[in-house]
């Protein structure tokens, strides 16, 4: 990057009901009674936009995650919610998770094209493959698809979706009232896809949207996940605990891009961080301890059992992790399994200590400190080859997002690391990514001057 165009951080706000900490809903600073109140999320979206963040993001699953007895779980379907948020914001990107395992490409392409039009080009799709038996059982299956098969289906799913987005050319709509021609039929074409998993005729019933394609995001860090990201993703949400692990993941993923004809700048890597902000370090650590003290061990143990694919019910909380299976034998989230197992082994944590460490970020890095200390951490990872930006996971809402926007963002701006104003209108422009050309647009033919 030149001095006149310095490299800048990308910041996404990952919003989750009362906050990312599993005990956040019990803290007096949160509003769990509002998790189905659209005005609550509109306030959060406007707060993130006030901070000039690139985007907001909602995760999603096709089951009721965790023990609803002990956490504020459940809530809005994310595309529906983001459509409502599009009407009260102008700039911030709107990213939703949609699974390729329990959806169809036509539905998904249509929904994201609609959101992209509704928002003026701010839609993003976090592509996941769904990895739990509970999700499978909501769709008439007793088991979920094998890990590599889920990614095989995901690859074809994305191929079909992009063909559908490209089934209308940008200038297909003619609007010739005199001749009675609304659209040029030669520029709205079937895709006639026939593959292993899908058969889709097309075209899409939504014209090509402002971004062409929504921003494509991916969040898996397994071998299958990294290879999928290298081929398709434009932003990656990832979880690493240490700078060295972040650097290793960053280098590995960037090095895979060339085999797909892509440059390093074509993919932005955003590790997750759960920032516990205090005006002093002691205040931040006190808030972190307050949240830990509100944890329900039974809930944390169930969450941990799910992450490790091992039933930990009834084990002594002050004892160590039991023997675990190998990663290759895990059919759920392989990368999260390995991260959690290594964290416990590296730091010699008991089950109780591990539950406390995972409470804020479920494996993502948690850091408690002053705004300057948090900015130091972000700057170190950004300048030392571990990140292009960050997936900000406020431990409690709305205050955790407000603290980050009002106190950490200005430090990053003062250091020249983050924008002070939006310079683009679309999510792709925020991330410095090009608008993809439609694949169906005709190239120069022999009749147009090339030798036949």
Give the pLDDT confidence of 126-174 residue by residue, as tens digits.
Answer: 999 987 888 999 999 888 788 889 999 999 999 999 999 999 999 999 9
| Distance of alpha carbon 279 from alpha carbon 360, whole angstroms | 19
Torsions phi, psi of 374, nearest 5?
-65, -45
Q: Which fold has domain 10-295+359-443?
A: TIM Barrel (3.20.20)
Burial 302-338 (b: 16+ CB within 10 A, else e): bbbebbbbbebeebeeeeebeebeeeeebbbbbbbbb
Alpha helices in 257-407 (DSSP H): 281-293, 297-308, 334-347, 351-358, 371-383, 399-403
Q: Give the rounded percent of residues in the chain with a pLDDT score beyond 70.
A: 94
Three-state DSSP state, 347:
helix
Whether the predicted pLDDT of 1 surpasses 70: no
Q: What is the mean pLDDT of residues 217-239?
A: 94
Alpha helix positions (H), 351-438 = 351-358, 371-383, 399-403, 409-414, 427-430
φ, ψ dihedrals at 57, nearest 5°: -140, 135
Rounded to a whole number of angstroms, the distance between the first and last alpha carbons of the chain is: 43
Give the pLDDT confidence score for residue 349 in this predicted structure: 85
Residues 6+ apart with CB under 8 A from 403: 275, 277, 371, 394
Query: What pLDDT is attached to residue 177?
Result: 98
* Residue 291 token pair: 């949240």
Amino acid 450: pLDDT: 41
Q: What token pair was written down for 375?
A: 């900015």
- Whether the per-residue pLDDT at 185 is higher than 60: the answer is yes
* Separation CA 391–CA 374 (nearest Å): 13
Rounded distance, CA 289 to CA 280, Å? Answer: 14
Greatest Cα-to-Cα distance within the chain, rounded to the nearest angstrom: 80
Confirm whether residue 114 is marked as ligand binding.
no
Instruction: Find tokens 């992209």 and name the residue.
Output: 116
Query: Who's near 217: CB < 8 A, 6+ residues apart?
Result: 57, 95, 124, 125, 126, 127, 233, 234, 235, 236, 237
Share of the chain above pLDDT 90, in %: 73
147 is in an annotated binding site: yes
Mean pLDDT of 277-301: 93
Q: Is the pLDDT of residue 332 over 70?
A: no
Mean pLDDT, range 217-246, rounded to an integer: 94
pLDDT at 336: 77
CA dihedral 378, 382, 385, 387 (to 10 degrees): 80
Residue pLDDT, tens place only, 400-436:
999 999 999 999 999 999 999 999 999 999 999 999 9
More confident residue, 145 or 114: 114
Q: Which two tokens stand for residue 117?
A: 């039009």
Higher-confidence position of 2 and 405:
405
pLDDT of 286 reads: 97
What average pLDDT does the structure give for the chain?
Answer: 92
- pLDDT of 442 above 70: no
The whole-number pLDDT of residue 163 equals 98
Q: pLDDT at position 74, please?
A: 92
Query: What integer pLDDT is reported at residue 452 of this predicted model?
Result: 31
Segment 203-227 mean pLDDT: 95
User: Does the annotation place 151 within a ligand binding site?
Assistant: yes
For residue 420 the two structure tokens come to 């002070």
340/351 Cα distance (integer angstroms): 11
Task: Classify each residue of 123-153 as buried b or exposed e, where b means 16 or more C-beta atoms within 10 Å of its C-beta.
Answer: bbbbbbbbbbeebbeeeeeeebbebeebbbb
Question: What DSSP designation does 446 have?
Answer: G
Does the structure show a pLDDT above 50 at 448?
Answer: no
Higher-confidence position of 376 and 326: 376
pLDDT at 10 over 90: yes
Q: What is the pLDDT of residue 446?
A: 33
Pairing mode, strands 193-194 and 181-183: unpaired
In the predicted structure, residue 366 carries a pLDDT above the cut 70: yes
Task: Specify the residue for token string 């169930």.
Answer: 302
**pLDDT at residue 221 is higher than 90:** no
- Residue with structure tokens 């890597």? 269
Residue with tokens 């002594």: 316
Q: Give the lowest-confidence range in 23-32, 241-250, 301-310, 421-430.
A: 301-310
| SS3 label, residue 126 | strand
Q: What is the Cα–Cα distance from 162 to 178, expressed in whole angstroms?
A: 33
**Region of poorest pLDDT, from 77-81, 127-131, 231-235:** 127-131
Return the number of other C-beta atoms located less than 10 Å from residue 42's C-beta: 16
- List Cα–Cα distances, 132 to 73, 101, 127, 168, in angstroms: 17, 11, 16, 36
Question: Among the residues of 128-215, which ranges form H helices?
Answer: 133-136, 147-165
The 3-state DSSP class for residue 203 equals coil
What is residue 319's predicted lDDT score, i.e. its pLDDT? 87
Return the half-sphere exposure (C-beta side, CA atoms, 13 A cut-off) of residue 239.
Answer: 24
């Amino acid at each position: 990057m030149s001095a006149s165009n310095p490299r800048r951080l990308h910041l996404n706000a990952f919003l989750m009901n009362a906050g990312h900490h599993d005990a956040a809903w019990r803290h007096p600073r949160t509003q769990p009674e509002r998790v189905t109140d659209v005005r609550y999320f509109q306030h959060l979206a406007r707060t993130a936009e006030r901070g000039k963040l690139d985007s907001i993001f909602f995760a999603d699953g096709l089951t009721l995650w965790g023990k609803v007895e002990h956490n504020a779980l459940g809530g809005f379907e994310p595309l529906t919610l983001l459509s409502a948020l599009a009407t009260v914001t102008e700039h911030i990107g709107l990213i939703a998770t949609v699974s390729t395992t329990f959806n169809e490409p036509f539905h998904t392409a249509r929904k994201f094209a609609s959101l992209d039009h509704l928002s003026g080009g701010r839609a993003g799709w976090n592509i996941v493959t769904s990895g739990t038996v509970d999700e499978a059982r909501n769709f008439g299956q007793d088991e979920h698809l094998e890990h590599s098969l889920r990614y095989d289906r995901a690859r074809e799913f994305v191929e079909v979706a992009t063909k559908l987005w490209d089934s209308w050319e940008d200038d297909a709509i003619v609007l010739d009232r005199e001749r009675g021609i609304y659209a040029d039929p030669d520029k709205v074409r079937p895709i006639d896809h026939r593959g292993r998993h899908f058969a889709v005729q097309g075209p899409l019933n939504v014209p090509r949207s402002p971004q062409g394609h929504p921003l494509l995001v991916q969040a898996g860090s397994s071998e299958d996940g990294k290879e999928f990201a290298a081929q398709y993703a434009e932003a990656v949400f990832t979880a690493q605990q240490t700078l060295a692990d972040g650097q290793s993941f960053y280098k590995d993923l960037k090095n895979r891009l060339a085999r797909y004809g892509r440059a390093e700048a074509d993919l932005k890597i955003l590790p997750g961080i759960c920032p516990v902000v205090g005006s002093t370090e002691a205040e931040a650590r006190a808030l972190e301890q307050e949240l830990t003290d509100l944890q329900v061990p039974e809930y944390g143990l169930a969450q941990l059992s799910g992450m490790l694919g091992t039933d930990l019910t009834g084990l002594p909380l002050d004892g160590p992790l039991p023997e675990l299976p190998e990663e290759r034998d895990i059919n759920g989230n392989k990368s999260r399994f390995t991260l959690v197992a290594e964290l416990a082994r590296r730091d010699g944590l008991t089950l109780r200590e591990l539950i406390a460490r995972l409470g804020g970020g479920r494996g993502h890095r948690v850091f408690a400190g002053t705004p300057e200390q948090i900015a130091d951490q972000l700057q170190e990872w950004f300048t030392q080859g571990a990140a292009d930006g960050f997936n900000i996971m406020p431990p409690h809402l709305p205050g955790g997002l407000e603290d980050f926007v009002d106190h950490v963002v200005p430090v990053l701006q003062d250091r020249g690391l983050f924008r002070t104003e939006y310079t683009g209108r679309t999510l792709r422009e925020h991330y410095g990514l090009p608008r993809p050309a439609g694949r169906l647009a005709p190239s120069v033919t022999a009749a147009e001057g090339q030798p036949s």
